[in-house]
Amino acid sequence: MVLHIKNMVCDRCIMVVRQQLQNIGLNVGDVNLGSADVQPEPNSEQLSLISSQLKLLGFELLDNEKDRIVERVKSLIIEKVHHSDLADTHLNFSQYLSESLNKDYAYLSRMFSDAEDTTIEKFIIQQKIEKVKELLEYGELNLNEITWKMGYSSSAHLSAQFKAITGLTPSQFKASGKTNRKAIDKI
């Protein structure tokens, strides 16, 4: 049985969820961002225990199709933005999401907007800006390298989006010494 789990955003989340499910006594197969395959199928008492244990750790079991799809959209975006190099992919997110979920993008967009009170495009931009903040904080790459790595067409475009979201230019952000970063699952 596949459990669908909200707020899984990184490899540590996968590790923690796997450990919790094993502690409950389930055989755990594949665990990915947003899902975990378990055997045998948990009974209602076990599902309640799983739900309460995961909730203590900031996760949530998803039990309806709409929530599952929205969470899968978020997981796919987070995976691409935070765990891959966008420069190499020249990624069209609408096509990527549509193909990955085998659903029409207009349908996904409507569903996402209804559930999250924001558009997929704004969610992608917010995720990219958080990744840019992280890269600026590390100081290993200059703005042009970050621009390329994040798949922006120019540093001016990146700077404009960054300022629209944070109120600061990337240079001002870096000079301020304050990170003001948001947790990925809080975006």
What is the pTM for the complete model shown? 0.77
Among candidate residues 173, 165, 168, 164, the one with its CA nearest the CA of residue 138: 173
> Which pLDDT score, from 0 to 100, does residue 88 have?
61
Q: Which pLDDT value is given to residue 86?
A: 72
Domains for the chain: give ranges and CATH numbers. 2-63 (3.30.70.100), 64-187 (1.10.10.60)
Separation CA 162–CA 170 (nearest Å): 7
Could you identify the residue written with the tokens 């409950």?
A: 24
Task: Please name the residue that has the structure tokens 């907007």.
Answer: 113
- CA 98 centroid distance within chain: 17
Label residue 133 exposed, middle or buried (CB < 10 Å: 0-12, 13-18, 19+): buried
pLDDT tens by residue, the chain, 187 residues: 899 998 888 888 999 999 999 998 899 999 998 899 999 888 888 999 999 999 999 999 988 889 989 989 998 999 899 887 776 656 789 999 999 999 999 999 999 999 999 999 999 999 999 999 999 988 889 999 999 889 888 999 999 999 999 999 999 998 887 667 666 666 6
In a 3-state reduction of DSSP, which class is residue 52?
helix
Q: For position 108, what pLDDT does the model report?
A: 96
Predicted confidence at residue 184, as pLDDT, reads 67
